[in-house]
């Protein structure tokens, strides 16, 4: 049984790696695949707050925007390499994440939801009005693509990411990296602390868990992942405009993790695949009915209501069980679930 599932996983990995070489994978298909990866990273990053800590984040895309514009500005104005920009953007994202969460650290989760509700709009307002920095509504064209330049090693070799294929592999690497980090954190001391805060903050505090410190780490970590996705997106799409980071996008990412099951890392990836694919289909189908493409969010809203009502664990609860996790936590979660049901 175990051998079979390992073989299946290997097969899946091979399929993913060979995907761009297949005849049916046109630039468009690869573009959608990369988009899925960006959203998978966003979904995994958002998942930290509502999934692990029970705090509803309604403005997550703000960090995506902060990361993207940091990458855009540093790359355009200072000619920095992607590899230098990533840690800087992630650090800035983390800082903003802590600043945003800090006022609500001592208050109930409702206040956090309220504060995050307007956050995306605040970021968009800043991006639109600080024209000296961001060019405002005109957007930011001409961001250079990612390149690998080994001249600092004394080797005269340079590779520019000119088509979708290299972005596909880099995106795959990024998703894998974030995925592994998330899984490791969920099983770590940090992840257990978050779980206890989520289940019962009062009990957690009385067991000596520093609520404010652990929540701050969650704010920073979640935001840094969002900024990372933004960085990648900026150097991939090579154009930025404030409108990309509207409230709707936060909602879309939230819908992904609700679909996959809150707190479920595998589910976040599945959710992003399903919703981006659905979005692409609706983008083509909706105009046939004479509807604006934004109305695809109607389906997302409905989906969210129905899932919360009928399947609060996400539509694929089986996927959660197949992810490798420490026995201890699995048992604990099962016991908590049983207690809640009974």
**Closest distance between another protein and the C-beta of residue 67, in Å?**
21
d(CA 230, CA 233): 5
CB 24, CB 18: distance < 8 Å: no
**Closest distance between another protein and the C-beta of residue 237, in Å?**
23
Give whichever of 109 and 145 is closer to another protein, judged by the CB atom: 109
Give whichever of 88 and 211 is closer to another protein, judged by the CB atom: 211
Give whichever of 11 and 99 is closer to another protein, judged by the CB atom: 99
Tokens linked to 248: 């709707």
Give whichever of 107 and 285 is closer to another protein, judged by the CB atom: 107
Give whichever of 148 and 205 is closer to another protein, judged by the CB atom: 205
DSSP state of 144: P
**Closest distance between another protein and the C-beta of residue 212, in Å?**
9
Q: Residues interacting with another protein, by CB under 8 A?
A: 50, 54, 56, 58, 103-104, 106-111, 113-115, 117-119, 121-122, 125, 128-129, 197, 201-202, 205, 211, 215, 247-248, 251, 254-255, 258, 262, 291-292, 294-295, 297-298, 300-305, 308-309, 312
**Closest distance between another protein and the C-beta of residue 101, in Å?**
11
**Closest distance between another protein and the C-beta of residue 245, in Å?**
14
**Closest distance between another protein and the C-beta of residue 229, in Å?**
21
**Closest distance between another protein and the C-beta of residue 127, in Å?**
12
Give whichever of 129 and 188 is closer to another protein, judged by the CB atom: 129
d(CA 161, CA 165): 8
Give whichever of 139 and 313 is closer to another protein, judged by the CB atom: 313
């Amino acid at each position: 049984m175990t051998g079979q599932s390992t073989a299946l996983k290997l097969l899946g990995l091979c399929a993913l790696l060979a995907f761009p070489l297949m005849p049916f994978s046109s630039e468009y298909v690869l573009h959608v695949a990369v988009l899925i990866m960006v959203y998978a990273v966003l979904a995994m990053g958002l998942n930290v707050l509502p999934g692990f800590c029970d705090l509803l984040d309604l403005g997550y895309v703000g960090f995506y925007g902060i990361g993207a514009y940091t990458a855009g500005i540093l790359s355009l104005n200072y000619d920095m390499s992607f590899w230098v920009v990533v840690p800087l953007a992630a650090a800035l994202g983390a800082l903003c994440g802590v600043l945003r969460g800090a006022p609500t650290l001592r208050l109930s989760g409702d206040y956090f939801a309220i504060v995050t509700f307007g956050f995306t709009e605040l970021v968009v307002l800043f991006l639109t009005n600080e024209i000296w920095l961001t060019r405002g509504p005109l957007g930011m064209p001409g961001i250079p693509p990612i390149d690998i330049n080994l001249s600092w090693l004394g080797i005269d070799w340079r590779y520019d990411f000119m088509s979708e294929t290299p972005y596909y592999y880099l995106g795959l690497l990024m998703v894998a990296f974030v995925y592994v980090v998330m899984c490791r954190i969920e099983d770590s001391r940090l992840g257990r602390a978050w779980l206890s805060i989520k289940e019962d903050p009062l009990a957690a505090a009385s067991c000596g868990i520093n609520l404010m410190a652990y929540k701050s780490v969650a704010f920073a970590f979640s935001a840094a992942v969002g900024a990372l996705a933004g960085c990648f997106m900026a150097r991939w799409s090579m154009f930025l405009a404030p409108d990309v980071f509207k409230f709707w996008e936060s909602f879309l990412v939230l819908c992904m993790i609700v679909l996959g099951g809150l707190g479920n890392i595998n589910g976040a990836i599945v959710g992003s695949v399903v919703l981006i694919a659905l979005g692409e289909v609706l983008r083509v189908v909706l105009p046939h009915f004479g509807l604006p493409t934004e109305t695809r969010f109607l389906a997302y809203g409905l989906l969210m209501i129905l899932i919360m009502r009928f399947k609060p664990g996400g539509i694929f609860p089986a996927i959660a069980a197949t992810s490798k996790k420490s026995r201890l936590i699995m048992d604990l979660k099962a016991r908590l679930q049983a207690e809640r049901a009974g």
